[in-house]
Amino acid sequence: MTDLQDKKLKATWAYGLVSIICPFFFVAAVLFYQKAAHSEFWHTLNVDNDTDHSAAAMMAFGEFVQLMCWLGVGSFIGTLLSLKSIRMQRRVAGIGLAGLALKALPLLAVLLLWMRASLRGL
């Protein structure tokens, strides 16, 4: 194996591994941010007050939406890195394809559920 092929193989593996890790990194970063930024809110809630229950529900929903948005960004970046890894290697099967499949499975599940719900509505 030549030196150039060895560097290309290492770069392919690096792109593939980063593409797999990317969404998990984004989720961990968002959870760390939410824990640091919103900890005072969660500690000052009064369980006897109905207004605080509503505020807690809205905050939990907001944190969930924030987490899902950043997970989408991480998955998009991971997908791009997976495609870059696949383009760099000569064969299709490899770590880039594994990263792409990891990103495609949740999307495929949502697509199948959406199609099933739309067919039932007809």
What range does the domain containing 76 cover?
3-121
Q: Please state the three-class secondary structure of 21-79 as a single string.
A: HHHHHHHHHHHHHHHHHHHHHHHCCCCCCHHHHHHHHHHHHHHHHHHHHHHHHHHHHHH
Task: Give how many domains the chain has, as a whole number.
Answer: 1
Model confidence pLDDT, tens digit, residues 42-101: 778 777 777 778 888 888 899 888 888 888 888 888 888 887 877 777 666 666 777 777
Query: CB 112: neighbour CB atoms within 10 A?
Result: 10
- Mean pLDDT over 24-40 rounds to 89
